[in-house]
Amino acid sequence: MLKGIPKILSPELLKVLCEMGHGDRIVIADGNFPSESVGKNAKVVRMDGHGTCELLEAILQLFPLDTYVDHPVQLMQVVPGDKVETPIWDEYTEIIKRVDVRGSSAISNIERFKFYDEAREAYAIIATGEGALYANIMLQKGVVV
């Protein structure tokens, strides 16, 4: 046991977060995301019993967002014509506001297939059991000051 480490963060995930350097990206993927195929060249950490919000909140206690880019947080854009609500994005925004002075302006949306392409270049993908649709979120690591 360690003090000050959120209990939800497994030793494997802590190791991945520690290994990552400035500019590296990590995806917190929902339960529908093709984590294993998209992440075949990345580290895939299974966290199936957990949701994206609880992981995002825990990760951001340890993980600085990149201040050298405008949008260190990226969400998968809803496909045009898809009639899906994304209330989880509001939860993400509230979590981001607590750790980054840029608040919602640190967040951008990227087209679904571009998100997959970007995710293929990520250092790691966390496969969660999140049931919300379009709940995939990519974080770019900054520096610890």
In this structure, the number of other CB atoms found within 10 A of the CB of residue 40 comes to 11
Active site residue 68: no
Which listed residue (50, 66, 92, 134) is catalytic? 66
For residues 27 and 117, the answer to whether their CB atoms sit within 8 Å is no
In this structure, the number of other CB atoms found within 10 A of the CB of residue 141 comes to 19
Active site residue 71: no
Active site residue 92: no
Q: Kindly tell me the burial class for residue 120, based on how many C-beta atoms sit within 10 Å of its own C-beta (0-12, 13-18, 19 or more).
A: middle
Contacts of 32 (CB under 8 A, 6+ apart): 133
Known catalytic residues are 22, 66, 116
